[in-house]
Structure 1
Amino acid sequence: MGQKNVRYAVVGTGWFAQEAILPAFQNATEHSKLAAIVSGDPVKQKEVGERYGVPAYGYEQYGDLLESGSIDAVYIALPNAMHKEYTLRAAKHKIHVLTEKPMAANAAECREMVAACSDAGVKLMVAYRLHFESGNLTAIDHIKSGKIGEPRLFSSVFTQEIQEGNTRLDADLAGSPLMDIGIYCINAARYLFQDDPIEVTGFAASSGETKFREVPEMVTAVLRFPKDRLASFTCGFGEARVSEYRVVGTAGDLRMQTGYTFRGAIQMHLTDEKGETRTTEFGERDQVGPEIEYFSECVLRNREPEPNGLEGLADLIIIDAINEACATGRAVKLPPFAQKPRPSLRQEYKMPKVSAPGLVNAASPGG
């Protein structure tokens, strides 16, 4: 490809698209350009399109956009159950795909997406923003270099209050705490242990509130990794906002406060074998611009993205197994995972934080 920029259409204009994705294009300028938006809301089409100076398309016009020759890639920011359809349609028209996580509603859909993009010769990447974030990449590096000895235990809590009516509470759209935020805990355990689990078990619970009539309020899971290491986490949609994880090794431990956030600072507390703790703060930076620029570089240089379709598939295999464990009350063994590179400090990007303009017909999940 002889071009210098990858032209993107952002598909979906909900809260996260308006809060983080669209503003990130002011940082992602070297190899990326916002060229269009797609929305099912006429008000958003007009106001958001005008705000960013790009044409706006309705969902029924998605095919016309793919055929227009005006874009090279889509950034899919739709509800989880819609990722597969919009990926397959893009691949059919030789359009590269960057999709939000979770990659799809289940592992079977992920496999279809991987196959379609491979057959079409287009790049497929899942938007794991923490694979480019300084704090989490530094945590990976510290553990790999032996600063806490051999990592043995991972534990995490990721909870927040979700308002009634939010799509994350809609089972038909593949919403649930496990899909929306539990996936961060699963992915973190995998990149911190530099391995994939071999068995999982899980429990789901709800308080009885009517908003949890389709999805559980909370899920707790335990993942067994090779070398008899354990990872446990709890994710929930009915609790105070908590976002943290801890890795305990044979000679120390590493704890991340607000470890999964994209707003505000991330704090790392590293305790060595002498019991001395050093705290490092990673100030707020744009985490979405790096994803976009990295993917553009992969497209332009014909390079396979690290968080590719196999990365997204791995997390959905695990999520499907946790759901099975919750339903049956039995531990579920996992098949071997495809081998692929893992995130490292080589993927670190440092872009200044961005401020989002006012939301148009959208609201934060917590209200």
Structure 2
Amino acid sequence: MAVKQSEKIRYAVVGLGHIAQNAVLPGFTQSTANSELVALVSGDEVKLQKLSKEYNVDYTFDYSDYRKMLYSGLIDAVYISLPNDMHARFAVEAMQAGVHVLCEKPLAMSVDDAKIMAQVSEKTGSRLMTAYRLHFQRANLKAIEIAKSGQIGEVRFFNTVFSMRVKEGNVRTSRTKGGGPLYDIGIYCINAVRGFFGELPEEVFAFANQGFDQRSKEVDEMLSVVMKFSGGRMATFICSFSGQHQAAFDVVGTTGCLRLENAYEYFDDMTLYFSRVNAATRKYKFKKSDQFGPEIVYFSDCLINKKHPEPNATEGVLDLMVIEAIMKSVKLRKPVTLTALSKTLHPTLRQALRRPAVEKPYTVHVEAPSMD
């Protein structure tokens, strides 16, 4: 679908769960310079009625009318915030209709499905962006810039922990819906280390635990992963659905180190610590901000100016390659080797965008996934 340079990009938000109501919809209120929310898609009529009124959205559609909406001429792009197992199907159908797609991570449930999405994007000319909000968040990008500048020497290892006490019965505990800590929060750990090392790991080795309580009856409770990169560099992470909330990473080089606290959060302040041998530790504070408005603004700018987005389909494919290798390692109980796949675009501090933090939003038929 062609977009005139003078136009705002018209969006439909597909799926009105927790992330959509608490972050995506408020993000549209801060991206009005080049973006317009014109439609909502959900299977919950009450959500459609109340949220369309709250956000002054003219058009609402049930999932059964999704195809009708795609060919209506009302929208240019969709923001897909559905359960993980629905991403690929809804994205492919949109791109085949000439509609651009901004899709929550993980891009799909498998590498094969993600590659199909990329192929459809290439064939149709519809842009496809993986919604990695931290690719526009200044604290994360500042840490990458410091590490790549050589200020901490040669980066040798990376360690991170991401945990949350997910509620029993939440969609994240459903295997058929693509739940589990690896797809939901472990993917942040994978994407973060790839941002620092700029490549896929050569080898991964992982352990998983399942059955700790009812929440992990269908999915893993937690995973512990070791990744080996070129040059002997190492990375480790633990992601958990049972541990008290933690979200921080450490990057250690030969002459210094970095630590980012609340690294993956979108409701909290972040603090970056920068230490060097024989030098005082520097501390950078980053106030909480809206992390979803910036990715919407960025994607709209790409569409208006006919640019390829940085966190593109390849970015989503690469993380899924690591996820599949981790799952294979858990099953086989041994290290798994990955095949190298390069990418040409990488996140830099130049693409950092900031919007003020949003107030607690109005929500309908939704609750937070975590007990914290």
User: Shift in Å at residue 357 of structure 1?
Assistant: 2.1
Q: Deviations over 1:198-231 (max 9, x none)?
A: 1111100135312211101000111111111001
Residue 230 of structure 1 aligns with which residue?
234
Aligned mate of 2:40, from 37, 40, 58: 37
Q: How does 1:262-277 map to 2 (within 5 A)?
A: 262-277=266-281
**1:233 aligned counterpart, secondary structure:** strand
Q: Deviations over 1:66-108 (max 9, x none)?
A: 0110000000000000000001110110000000001111111
Residue 135 of structure 2 aligns with which residue?
131
- The 2-side partners of 1:355 and 1:129 are apart by 18
1:302 corresponds to 2:306? yes
**Alignment TM-score, normalising by the size of structure 1:** 0.98
* Stretches of structure 2 lacking an aligned partner (at least 5 in a row): none
- The 1-side partners of 2:364 and 2:185 are apart by 24
- The 1-side partners of 2:319 and 2:82 are apart by 18
User: Shift in Å at residue 182 of structure 1?
Assistant: 0.3
Residue 339 of structure 1 aligns with which residue?
343
- The 1-side partners of 2:9 and 2:362 are apart by 27
**1:280 aligned counterpart, secondary structure:** strand
- The 2-side partners of 1:342 and 1:165 are apart by 37
The letter for the 1-side match of 2:62 is G
**2:244 aligned counterpart, secondary structure:** strand
User: Shift in Å at residue 4 of structure 1?
Assistant: 2.0
- Check conservation: 2:199, 2:342, Cα contact below 8 A: no
Q: How does 1:171-320 map to 2 (within 5 A)?
A: 171-206=175-210, 208-320=212-324
Q: How many residues align?
A: 367
- Check conservation: 1:28, 1:293, Cα contact below 8 A: yes
The letter for the 2-side match of 1:79 is P
User: Shift in Å at residue 326 of structure 1?
Assistant: 0.5
Aligned mate of 2:55, from 38, 41, 52: 52
- The 1-side partners of 2:321 and 2:72 are apart by 36
- The 1-side partners of 2:63 and 2:359 are apart by 27
**1:316 aligned counterpart, secondary structure:** helix
- The 1-side partners of 2:64 and 2:113 are apart by 22
**1:23 aligned counterpart, secondary structure:** helix
Q: Deviations over 1:284-325 (max 9, x none)?
A: 111100100100011111111000000000000000100000
- The 2-side partners of 1:10 and 1:336 are apart by 34
Following superposition, which runs of at least 4 residues in structure 1 exceed 6 angstroms of deviation? none
**2:364 aligned counterpart, secondary structure:** coil
User: Shift in Å at residue 275 of structure 1?
Assistant: 4.8
- The 1-side partners of 2:210 and 2:98 are apart by 43
Root mean square deviation, CA, Å: 1.0
Q: Deviations over 1:98-128 (max 9, x none)?
A: 0000111111110111011111111000000
Residue 159 of structure 1 aligns with which residue?
163
Moved more, 251-260 or 348-357: 348-357
- The 2-side partners of 1:243 and 1:326 are apart by 23
Residue 154 of structure 2 aligns with which residue?
150
* Stretches of structure 1 lacking an aligned partner (at least 5 in a row): none
Q: How does 1:106-125 map to 2 (within 5 A)?
A: 106-125=110-129
- The 2-side partners of 1:214 and 1:224 are apart by 29
Q: Deviations over 1:9-57 (max 9, x none)?
A: 0000000100000001111111111010101111101111111111211
- The 2-side partners of 1:207 and 1:156 are apart by 24
**2:267 aligned counterpart, secondary structure:** coil
Moved more, 194-203 or 244-253: 194-203
- The 1-side partners of 2:212 and 2:186 are apart by 20
- The 1-side partners of 2:87 and 2:312 are apart by 15
- The 1-side partners of 2:263 and 2:343 are apart by 26
Aligned mate of 1:78, from 66, 79, 82: 82
- Check conservation: 2:200, 2:322, Cα contact below 8 A: no
**Alignment TM-score, normalising by the size of structure 2:** 0.97
